[in-house]
Structure 1
């Protein structure tokens, strides 16, 4: 029977490498080297690199879904503060420290491995659906919005998509500029202040 610690060590190394280098640039050899194993030892736990990748992204998406729920449920204040804090917390978690989970989630959501695209997108769709469900509750409680809730959620998700793409593929300062400018238009567009 495989030791759980070995499996977790392999998954942790794989998560880090997949997040930093991407699926294509990460080899099983790299992962094995990272945990002090021989490449063949990984096959005792996983059928192949695809099997390991799916195992890693499933856990990452599950954990990030929980994290998003915690952020959206625990922030104090009105809808605007909650939504801003959510975006800024995602940015902070992505840019500060070693957050392989969030990096691999965003990588899979926006640039999945081609041959695993369907499975990756399925996890991403579920992740974003959970966020939409939480956002719906926030917008339903808001007294300021002057559009229907679905429109507000869709507009917010569109802003979030653009900001995340800026963060992932451009840089933090571009994210900050886009966030500042797009937020003003977004909030004025959905509110009756």
Structure 2
């Protein structure tokens, strides 16, 4: 239990303050243990950070799988737009998502390779999962047949990246403006209208 509690507190600190702004002493205080006791569970800050990365990666991927499974019968326009909205909501309410986005854009320099392995694995899996959903919508006539599923998916991931950037930098109002404009142009490019 203590190991999981340590990771939970560490995730919260890393999400808010980044790797460099987080101390093992802060984590230990919040867990209610001495700093030295953390080393019973983790060799050091790097190992703790990477364990949190692994857990959050699995959590974010689980969100994607559950979202796709729960929404796969919806019209593609609603499916994709709601996916963006769900990420906006997750970022506002979920420290795992905050952590995930922060480390995706600002990984600690000395752990860059380790972190980016998770980030690229997530992005590749997300693309792999979305292509068949979009391909199905093309075959059903929801999206223009002139656009391939891979191209439409890659463009959608570009919209998602823009939303992620505004989550980190822009605040709620700028985020909504970016989301609305990006979605409007993306959907007009895909639709048969």
The TM-score, its normalising length taken from structure 2, stands at: 0.93
Aligned-partner Cα distance in 2 for 1:155–1:29: 43
Q: Which aligned pairs between 1:64-83 and structure 2 lie closer than 5 A?
A: 64-75=60-71, 76-83=73-80
Residues 15 and 56, structure 1, Cα contact 8 Å, conserved in 2: yes
The TM-score, its normalising length taken from structure 1, stands at: 0.93
Residues 17 and 26, structure 1, Cα contact 8 Å, conserved in 2: yes
**1:17 is the counterpart of 2:23:** no
**1:45 is the counterpart of 2:26:** no
The match for 2:110 is: 115
Runs of 4+ aligned structure 1 residues displaced above 2 Å come to: 190-193
CA-to-aligned-CA distance 1:117-162 (integer Å, 9 cap, x gap): 1111110111111211121011111122331111101100011101
The match for 2:99 is: 104
Residues 19 and 104, structure 1, Cα contact 8 Å, conserved in 2: yes
**1:92 is the counterpart of 2:92:** no
Aligned-partner Cα distance in 2 for 1:34–1:119: 27
Aligned residue-pair number: 187
Q: Secondary structure at the match of 2:187?
A: helix
The match for 2:189 is: 189
The match for 2:154 is: 154
Aligned-partner Cα distance in 2 for 1:100–1:115: 23
Aligned-partner Cα distance in 2 for 1:80–1:24: 40
Residues 147 and 191, structure 1, Cα contact 8 Å, conserved in 2: no
